[in-house]
Structure 1
Amino acid sequence: MKTPALLSSALFLGACCMTGMPMAEDGDPDAAGDLCGFAIKDVSAWRNQMPGPDGPSGNLVIVIEIEADEISRRFQSGGISENGTLLLDIVEWDHPSGIGKIVYRKKSVPAERVEIRCGGEIVTTIDKIDTVY
């Protein structure tokens, strides 16, 4: 009987692909303070061009390592600005908390730099995106 396995696989795939919505209320000034009150340990960005330089445009991966707390966060894309900057907002995520990383992964993003914001304020920028083969 393969139906339960197929159903659970479909549910898992759906959960992985959900973008979710911010959980903080727009009118609550303390919500952004808690959400944005984290310490950044490391920031990295790379374009994965596997299997090699002649391969198709690869995934852009952005990772921020933070001090783990009780809030789960994710990136929400604000698009790409006219100067080629990928705009990412950090928003709360209805997912188990305390993982200590915020990750963005998307195929064929033509960004040349990244600006990361939380609560409307810039928290960090990435001016160099490495390419890995």
Structure 2
Amino acid sequence: MSEALVEQGPQNNANTGKKGEAKAEAYLTDEGYTIICRNWRTRSGEIDIIAEKDGVLVFCEVKTLPHSPQDTLEYVLSKRKQRKIIETAKCFLLDNRQYSNSYIRFDVLVIDVPRYSPVYHIQNAFSEFI
């Protein structure tokens, strides 16, 4: 098996994703966010990081793209994936009523894209009205 195939295998992708999520969490913490949880799952989907800052509850999708061209940023999240994140966020809010009056926001943190900062934070990347 060639080295290139080993590098792109599912286990390596999972490790890359976990490292990217750890980098995103450290970044958010450094920026003053409180991490509420990571990898919150329901049957309908998963939210990588849920954080809070200044009364705003932030649902974060983390994409680690170390070998992707710059124009990949335009295609990071499909409309279908956005809907899944929104539905999963609604489940989180139903299960965690203490946040039901919070402002919410959907952010994307893109990790390690060449020629961008190591953590490229896109605030308000999408909304329920898509």
Q: TM-score, normalised by structure 1?
A: 0.29
Q: Is the strand fraction higher in 1 or 2? A: 1
More helix by percentage = 2
Bigger Cα Rg:
1
